[in-house]
Chains A and B, each alone.
Chain A
């Protein structure tokens, strides 16, 4: 299989060129968030408070890693089930994110929003947290550290493997003959 090298922040031209099923190696900065972080971002917006970080142009990775051993950058760090973040798709995309990454299907609303905002959804390899951790070169908490494994991390990744699961036209790899 041919791998497509991608650098974050992902530019619009790259986003529109990627098609469902494309296998990518992502390098650069990515931001983590899962259930609780999404909920808190929503709360910040409802309360009219400014977020402690800027999400414009970012790739959001749905992960709650294991704690690192001494001398390691991060522990096991594979994707969690993305559909739990579906209710937050509009908020996150309106804040300017350009890509999401996790595992599994998304709902119809998210698919339409990806088209509207010209964004992309990557699936990476579920249950391969040890393998994927080797592609993470640095990690630091940038917000919500009280959430433990659900805190928001900035990760620098190198050749992080992912599949284009929903492209910016709304074509979905999981929507097959089942």
Chain B
């Protein structure tokens, strides 16, 4: 058994929130620089240049990458040989959020109730997903998710006999309909299989994979590529002004499912893909 204190989890959570609010990882900058060389349309080029410059200004002057500093979504995998010491784990994570959002002048965007809508003023509560796994470590991932891209989420329950082509058409339909709203080029998470709820969560978990790592199953790696190519032919383009680059990357997370079911869930992330992770 290994003991991990919640103070360490809190410290790392704060650091991850800070890093992804102000810094664009080099692999993402590289994607946009590459796109810039591919685009001919002036507005597509202008949009990509501004996206790149925005990243420079944000890190240099410590101005948040986007005014929508997001909902904070945590994904934890806790080894079953870990004993967590200190305060409640949920409290520790929420304290990290409240502290980081106050300290770094991030916008607080959470209301305590969906219908009565009073801002909590702390950007808490965060949304926390926990899985228990083997081992004696904790993996902690954070995703900062803006409202505009989250509002473009989708779920469709397909028939098990529906073709992969029909799934791709559905994805295309969602991306084209969303158009400029989720701030493309997007990072698309797709949850396939499971139950409706599992597919939705998997559409976010899929995004936790390193950006440059292909899916470990060649079947899905190929499907991801096929979806990306299809979506980049839609013409939506950077920020929806038209162009060749609508999607920066596609990530699938599949799961076993019922003989009668084939859920497909989509989670769209804006070009300001703010995520981070660490193993403690």
Interface residues in A127-162 by Cβ distance below 8 A to B read 127-131, 133-134, 148-149, 161
- CA gap between A130 and B22 in the complex, in Å: 9
Interface residues in A42-64 by Cβ distance below 8 A to B read 63-64
B214 close to chain A: CB less than 8 A: no
A125 close to chain B: CB less than 8 A: yes
Closest to B42 in A: A1
B106 CB contacts on chain A under 8 angstroms: 66
The binding surface of chain B is classed by DSSP as loop
- CA gap between A7 and B83 in the complex, in Å: 62
A126 CB contacts on chain B under 8 angstroms: 148, 180, 183, 239, 270
- Residues of A in contact (CB 8 Å), total 41
Closest to B119 in A: A148
- B186-199: contact bitstring with A at CB < 8 Å (1 yes, 0 no)? 00000000000000
A127 CB contacts on chain B under 8 angstroms: 51, 54, 65-66, 146, 183, 239, 270-272
A75 close to chain B: CB less than 8 A: yes
A105 close to chain B: CB less than 8 A: yes
- B30-47: contact bitstring with A at CB < 8 Å (1 yes, 0 no)? 000000000000110011
- CA gap between A148 and B101 in the complex, in Å: 14
Contact indicator A149/B270 (Cβ below 8 Å): no
A129 CB contacts on chain B under 8 angstroms: 54, 63-68
Interface residues in A65-80 by Cβ distance below 8 A to B read 65-69, 72, 75-78, 80
CB distance from A29 to the nearest CB of B (A): 20
Name, among A36, A67, A83, A127, the residue most crowded by chain B CB atoms within 10 Å (CB to CB): A127
Interface residues in B54-72 by Cβ distance below 8 A to A read 54-55, 57-58, 61-69
- Report which of A65, A69, A161 forms a contact with B67, defined as CB distance below 8 A: A65
Contact indicator B64/A178 (Cβ below 8 Å): no
Contact indicator B239/A103 (Cβ below 8 Å): yes
- B234-248: contact bitstring with A at CB < 8 Å (1 yes, 0 no)? 111001111000000
CB distance from A166 to the nearest CB of B (A): 12
Contact indicator B241/A83 (Cβ below 8 Å): no
Write the residues of chain B forming the contact surface with A, with a CB cutoff of 8 angstroms.
42-43, 46-47, 50-51, 53-55, 57-58, 61-69, 105-109, 117, 119, 121, 146-148, 151, 176, 179-181, 183, 234-236, 239-242, 270-272
Write the residues of chain A forming the contact surface with B, with a CB cutoff of 8 angstroms.
1, 21, 23, 36, 63-69, 72, 75-78, 80-81, 83, 103-105, 123, 125-131, 133-134, 148-149, 161, 163, 173-174, 176-178
Q: Taking A23-B46, A76-B67, A178-B234 as given, write out 5 further A-B residue pairs in contact, using a Cβ cutoff of 8 Å, ordered by the A residue number.
A: A1-B46, A126-B148, A128-B51, A129-B65, A173-B241
